Amino acid sequence: MIIIGEGISAHVYSDGEFAYKQYKEGYSLDNMKFEVYVQNQIYEHTNLNVAHYEIVDNKIKMTLLDGLNLADRIIKENYLQGMQDFIDLQLQIFQYKDLKLADSFQTFAYQIKETELDETLKTKALESIDKIKKLYCLCHFDFHPENIVYHKDIPYIIDWTNAKLGNPTMDIASTYVIFRLYAEEFAEPYLEAMLANGFDLSQIVDAIPVMAFIRLRENQEEKLDQPLKDFVLGIDRIFHR
């Protein structure tokens, strides 16, 4: 067995035929079952290229994807088609609606209300949700270049744990926030590409506060809290509204 990846809660290793995710001691079996359920909703009910998951001996057995991710291809191979691949895949995700996944509006509203973060931010995030049109398309909610892996030159989308049904502008806003935090040089080209594909800037901007808040809630340990707080509170100024 060869370790091919390691995170805070799990490591991933390969036997050369399959990959296995082994969670660290104390990780909830219910959380593992939920992860497998969401993954296989995508695998079974869409035509997207994704890995198949199953639980074997308290590990997640997965399709082995052994190529570079999109971020590495852009950096190491100067892959000029990278942004177009990225946009095309996200647009494909939005085509699907009939999946048994969580309602993002309800889930995010609950998460906002239950958190102990700043009340001003909570109010801004809840107001943001209320502005978003109630559409229920498949959204990834952690869509960035490291979550696209090329296997035999075919791009596979990975890490579907956060997937829910929602308005595509929410997923676009989520990706935009990720770019602003981790790869700012891609943020504006990405946004411009989405606008060129027919999405409305004002609707994306309306969704940014809630998606920035959710990122803040999940990632406080990364010490990004102040930049995210400033971003949420300054969103109207940033977009000249």
Specify which residues 157 forms β-bridges with.
Answer: 148
Distance (Å) of CA 160 to CA 49, 81, 101, 157, 231: 12, 23, 11, 8, 26
- pLDDT, position 221: 45
The answer to whether the pTM exceeds 0.85 is yes
Q: 107 with 225, same domain?
A: yes
For the chain, 241 residues long, give each residue's pLDDT as a single digit of tens.
788 777 777 889 899 899 999 988 878 889 899 999 999 999 999 999 999 999 999 899 999 998 899 999 999 999 999 999 999 999 999 999 989 999 999 999 999 999 887 788 889 999 999 999 999 999 999 999 999 999 999 999 999 999 999 999 999 999 999 999 889 999 999 999 999 999 999 999 999 999 998 988 776 544 556 666 666 666 666 665 5
- pLDDT, position 211: 94
Q: State pLDDT tens for residues 198-208.
A: 999 999 999 99
Q: 216 with 121, same domain?
A: yes
- pLDDT, position 53: 96
- pLDDT, position 220: 58
Q: 180 with 208, same domain?
A: yes
Q: 98 with 183, same domain?
A: yes
Helices (H), the chain: 29-45, 70-77, 82-93, 104-114, 119-131, 168-182, 187-196, 201-218, 225-233, 235-238
Please name the residue that has the structure tokens 């969103």. Answer: 235
CB 128 within 8 A of CB 204: no
Sheet holding 18-23, edge to edge: 2-6, 10-14, 18-23, 59-63, 53-56
Query: Domain containing 33 — which CATH number?
Result: 3.30.200.20
What residue numbers bound the domain in which 86 lies?
70-238
Single out the residue in 63, 80, 104 at which a domain terminates. 63
- pLDDT, position 95: 98
- pLDDT, position 222: 46
Q: 57 with 85, same domain?
A: no
How many domains would you assign to the chain?
2
Q: State pLDDT tens for residues 79-104.
A: 999 999 999 999 999 999 989 999 99
